[in-house]
Amino acid sequence: MDRKRKWLPGIGAVLLLLLSHMTSALEVPLDPKVLEGLPQPPTITLQSPKDYIFDPRENIVIHCEAKGKPHPGFSWIRNGTHFDVEKDSNVLMKPGSGTLVIDISEEKAEAYEGTYQCTAHNDHGTAVSNNIVTRQSRSPLWSKERIEAITVPVGVSLVLQCRPPTGLPPPVIFWMDNNFMRLPLGKRVSQALNGDLYFSNVLPEDTRNDYICYARFPHTQTIQQKQPMAVTVLQTGPAKERSPGFMLPLGATSTKMVLRGEKLQLECIAEGLPTPDISWQKDGGDLSDSRVTFYNFQKTLKISDVNESDAGNYTCKASNKLGTAHHTIMVTVKAAPFWISAPRNLILAPNETGILTCRVNGEPKPNISWFVNGVPINNAPEDQTRKVDDDTVILSNVQSGSSAVYQCNASNEFGYLLANAFVSVLAEPPRVLTPPNRVYQVITNSPALLHCASFGSPIPTITWFKDSQTSIENGDPYVIHENGTLEIHVAQPLNSGKYTCIATNNLGIKENHVYLEVKEPTRILKQPEYKVVQRGMSAVFECKVKHDPSLVPTMTWLKDSGELPDDERFVVDADSLVIKDVTDDDEGTYTCIMNTTLDQDSASAMLTVVEATPTPAIVYEKPDPPTELELSDQTERSVQLTWVPGDEHNSPTQKFLIQYEDLLHQPGIWVNLTEVDGTGTTAQLHLSPYVYYSFRVLAQNHVGYSQPSQPSSQYRTNPAAPDENPSNVKAVGTKPGNLVISWTQLTGFQSNGPGLEYKVLWRQKDVEQDWSSKTVADVSEFTVSGTPTYVPYEVKVQALNDYGNAPEAEVVIGHSGEDLPLSAPESVQVMVHNSTLAEVHWEPVPPSSVRGKLQGYQVYYSRKRGLHETEEIEEQQEQVLTFSGNRTEGRLPGLQPYSLYSLYIKVLNSIGEGPASADKPFETPEGVPGPPSFLRVINPSLDSLTLEWGPPRNNNGRLSGYTLKYQPVNNTSELGPLRVMDFLANETTVVLDNLNSSMLYKFYLSAKTIKGSGPSVTEEALTILETIQSQPTVETGKGPTEPPHPTSPITLSPHPPFYKVPPAGPAFGKVNTSVSEDGAVISWEYFGHHKNVYVEYIVENSKEDWKKELVNGSHSHMIKGLKPATSYRVRVVARDPADPTLHSTDEVLVTVPAVPSRQVDIATQGWFIGLMCAIALLILVLLIVCFIKRNKGGKYPVKEKEDAHQDPEIQPMKEDDGTFGEYSDTEDHKPLKGSRTPSNGTVRRDESDDSLVDYGEGGDGQFNEDGSFIGQYSGKKEKDTHEGNESSEAPSPVNAMNSFV
């Protein structure tokens, strides 16, 4: 004893010293992915209950599953000895597990009852299961007994005993009659917990002979029945009333013991007349706990999940009007062992210390026993590192290979607890179990938990960093928990970012990154407002919400805390609820709830429905300006602006315009920044540094913009280095030896800070040299001097200010100044393609000699003289063609044939031209000549014309002659036969004879060389009738005689050669005739030269002489005075006294109309024809109607007879909508085939073999077998005249068809 006392303080000291080691021991279970590669002692994962009752009709299955690394093996102990499973053919152990399956189909079940315990073992230890007591369920029969009939007087108490057989588990008791109907229970008649039936007092209606007690055994689902009991209640007189007394339990007191955690049931059943009432109370206690319930009409008190506080005295009181009775039940609470702290698995690193604790409680206090690998610890091999102190095992300086499974067994008289806990000794570097790059999202001002679950042996130390730089220490606002979790009590937007946790132990280091996003809270800016709406109108509840832009909101509306009615009148939009055509049922409270994945906000408003009143006129106005501008989420380059919309004045807001004022650079000037949809109330604004911002918002509806809102508070962004460089950077040389670098300066808004300057950098391209630079301010141009001529340069212009430089500028390529080219093109060659086109070739100049940007080559060329000329042209016109780019050839079009040319070439750059090449002469070959210089007609006469002309201005070669073509032209501009004449080169005049008089001629004259004829010159001339000075004229109506061109004046000249012109062909051409109101008009073509032309006519088939009328000089004539209805033969003749030949046209026949009239013929007028057609159509329709009515005698009122018959299958078809209406017996308004229709409208039997009369016997209009209505058409009745005129509507032929379908 003394020795033990000396040891105890040492143990306490060790506990104090090693407390930190205990907390540092790594506990399991761990992530399965981690455990896969780690050695692990066995762990029981599944086992059967301690008390296992099996159904003897089925196999016995005793579960035992375990895990471990390597996978454990299994063995069993039965009734304290090893159970060799393999030797029993009825027992099977499942592969990979310890679960036993025992086949008892051929064996008595009692042979396998007993106590079983499973053992799971591998190289690192042994785990054991609970002791599993296995018993078979039993449902024995009732023992046979003779039950006597019971006779009792009315009013006395009675007990009918059930006494069911003992079963396993105990049966469920209930009372029924022969009809399997449960007996009615109540305050007077009740069933006790033991199954007996108690009557507080009996009544005559309790008399029956089928009181039957049933026992149901739940495991086997069988029901056993006791013999029926008969009860007779004698009513010898009125029952005597009495005060209460207890039938159960007996006496004034009793005791009851219950185990902690089980169910306590106390019952009191009293007798008396009248039936007593039962009530309960506890000494010094309260029975209103939720665990306390009363049932069986207050006779039973039940307390679930009993604990120590439920011990005490419970008193039940029975009372009626005659008195009361009491009974006290003294309840004691015992406890089987229960866990306070069960031992937990430990993973220790070598040389670490761990503690296993097995803390239990119970009543009486349990005894604790320790086992290691299933062996009592006292019998296990001695281990100096292990110390046992009652409920604690201390393991000090553990070493590799000392892994084991420890069992703690705590027991008392009411039960036991058994727990396995393994100790695994491992050396593992750190692992972070939290998934990498996990994103945590929280709402502003909410706590944030960033996890860093880790594994390692020894246990890793966790450290945290923010944005990979700032070390995080315990303290406001951060807390680092023992498990590595980083907590931020009140998260703010500035806490957003990247966090790194690092797990470290003596075997290594591991880091993991997570991200925190602190979101803006969801907030309802415009809450729904109380609405009073007239019945039948619409109610609109607005619910405008501000939320974090990165979160997806969900709007939900509720009515009176429930879902909205499933009614299409309720329309939910993004930020509103519209209730159309409001009814009284729509009154209530409406709540909008805005949910995101992180938070929510809600607001409610009521709707009141009132009687409708006259609706006032709706007035549309501009919206009110927004209010309550608020800036949030302020960062260096952005800010969030929120506002509350103003009244829309009956016109929905279409958009919001956000403006800003830069109080630093442009005070007083408001600039449009962005626009937001009319449903929005927030905007994320992107800002620039070094600006003093002030914001305002305007709302716009279809009426217009609102007034601007009040400006927001000023928001100043800090200066920063420029974000951009100057634009439009160019590098151009303006003269030889310089390079001008220019750019567009940044604005003050773009400068991002004070001290704006520009760093100009340049260097020659493709040359190994450093950048030259110059920093300038307030300029947009810089000139570099002393540069080589036209060489490429790389140029950059970078902005900078007092806070740093802009990003690296883009390189721009430019060239230094140009100079005139130094060289001329060489090897100039000319290739002449034809008389007007030549092609020139040259060798390009060396690129270095261009001394600038090559623009191209210019070819200068001029005509020196014609090849037939000896002297050069005094004023030579020099022409120039420019060929762009690095060309080596070009074409010279538009040259003059048969000429001497000279050309030279110069190279061209942006400054000017270089020296000229040597002159290069070339000749063009002959070509066709130009047109004669003139063509004139002189000395016109009756039958001759004189032509004279001049040579071409450009012969384009050696002239070989002329070609003259001419042809007559009649008064309809039609051309006659063409005549061709050739002349020598020295001939320039000709006389054309034997022409037609008063005839227009057209002339074409061209010159020619050996290359062919050139273009023609044309002229027209008219021969005259008698004299040269006057032109022939014609009376009005005879046709024009003026020539289209005036004749040339007569001039004296040497007599030209005289040519006798042969006749031009027939004198007359085509003849046309027409008849008008004034007579017959004759027109003709005339090509002759005769002096006298006549129109002659004679009546057809007449022997009289031809009548003639003179028509000299005309090509048309009207013959008047002709007789109506008479035909005439007409011809045109030409006579000349000097020529006996008669020239005549073919005779034509002209017929004069019979009744010539100047009045308008009404029969040919469109309106008259249309009117006549309409009248004819109307008459036709009337005839058809009359015809039908005579055939039918009117329409048959089938509808009335259908109504009388009420046949739903007969549905007449109407003409207008395709449904059945009144019936017609016509098809296309004709009688039926094989029938005749007399004028009286009847159908005669003897006139048709297929008459409708055959189908219409009787006047009832009955239908035949197929449901048709042929019986309507009967010959025995005639329709009255007024029946046939009920409607002026003509029956449709389609309806007639439908009548017989």
Strand order in the sheet with 508-519: 438-443, 508-519, 497-505, 461-466, 470-472
Instruction: Name the CA dihedral angle for 1180, 1181, 1187, 1190, rounded to a multiple of 10 degrees.
Output: -140
First vs last Cα of the chain: how many Å apart? Answer: 123
pLDDT tens-digit map of 197-236: 999 999 999 999 999 999 998 877 888 889 999 999 998 8
This model's pTM is above 0.85 = no
Alpha carbons 1251 and 8: distance in angstroms, whole number: 133
Average pLDDT score, the chain: 82
The answer to whether 1125 and 1108 are in contact (CB under 8 A) is no
The answer to whether 864 and 895 are in contact (CB under 8 A) is no
Helices (H), ranges, 408-558: none
pLDDT tens-digit map of 904-933: 999 999 889 999 999 999 999 999 999 999
Closest by Cα among 27, 24, 29, 25 to 45: 29
Closest by Cα among 1170, 1164, 1168, 1128 to 1147: 1128
Q: Is 614 exposed, middle or buried (0-12, 13-18, 19+ CB in 10 A)?
A: exposed
pLDDT tens-digit map of 472-489: 887 778 888 988 999 998
Confidence band (pLDDT; 50, 70, 90) for 1077? low
Q: Which amino acid is at 539?
A: A
803 pLDDT more than 50: yes
The distance from CA 48 to its chain's CA centroid, rounded to whole angstroms, is 56
Closest by Cα among 1118, 1123, 1086 to 1104: 1123
Q: What DSSP state is assigned to residue 602?
A: E
746-769: average pLDDT: 90
Sort strands 1058-1059 and 486-488 into parallel, antiparallel or unpaired.
unpaired
| Whole-number pLDDT of residue 1147 | 85
Query: Which pair of tokens denotes residue 1115?
Result: 């090509």
- Judge if the upstream peptide bond of residue 477 is cis by omega within 30 degrees of 0: yes
The answer to whether 636 and 627 are in contact (CB under 8 A) is no
Alpha carbons 257 and 364: distance in angstroms, whole number: 13
Q: Which amino acid is at 946?
A: T
8 pLDDT more than 50: no
pLDDT tens-digit map of 260-270: 999 999 999 99
Least confident of 43-47, 160-164, 1013-1017, 1166-1170: 1166-1170
898 pLDDT more than 80: yes
Percent of the chain at pLDDT exceeding 70? 83
The answer to whether 677 and 700 are in contact (CB under 8 A) is no
Place of tokens 């391209």: 765
325-352: average pLDDT: 93
Element (H, E) at 316: strand 312-320
pLDDT tens-digit map of 610-649: 987 766 778 889 999 999 999 988 888 899 999 999 998 9
Sort strands 292-295 and 323-341 into parallel, antiparallel or unpaired.
unpaired
Closest by Cα among 118, 115, 97 to 51: 115
3-state SS of 614-626 is CCCCCCCCCCCCC
Percentages of the chain per state (helix, strand, coil), in multiples of 5: 10, 45, 45
1224 pLDDT more than 60: no
| Whole-number pLDDT of residue 859 | 94
| Whole-number pLDDT of residue 1088 | 66
| Whole-number pLDDT of residue 974 | 78
| Whole-number pLDDT of residue 1269 | 36
Strand order in the sheet with 826-832: 826-832, 838-843, 889-892
1196-1207: average pLDDT: 43
Least confident of 279-283, 508-512, 876-880, 1235-1239: 1235-1239
Q: Is 455 exposed, middle or buried (0-12, 13-18, 19+ CB in 10 A)?
A: buried
* Coil vs helix vs strand at 708: coil
Confidence band (pLDDT; 50, 70, 90) for 14? very low
Least confident of 387-391, 907-911, 1113-1117, 1290-1294: 1290-1294
Query: Which pair of tokens denotes residue 490?
Result: 């009140």
Residue-by-residue DSSP string for 853-866: -EEEEEEEEEEEEE
Which CA distances in Å does 725 have to 169, 740, 741, 777, 1103? 91, 18, 14, 14, 114
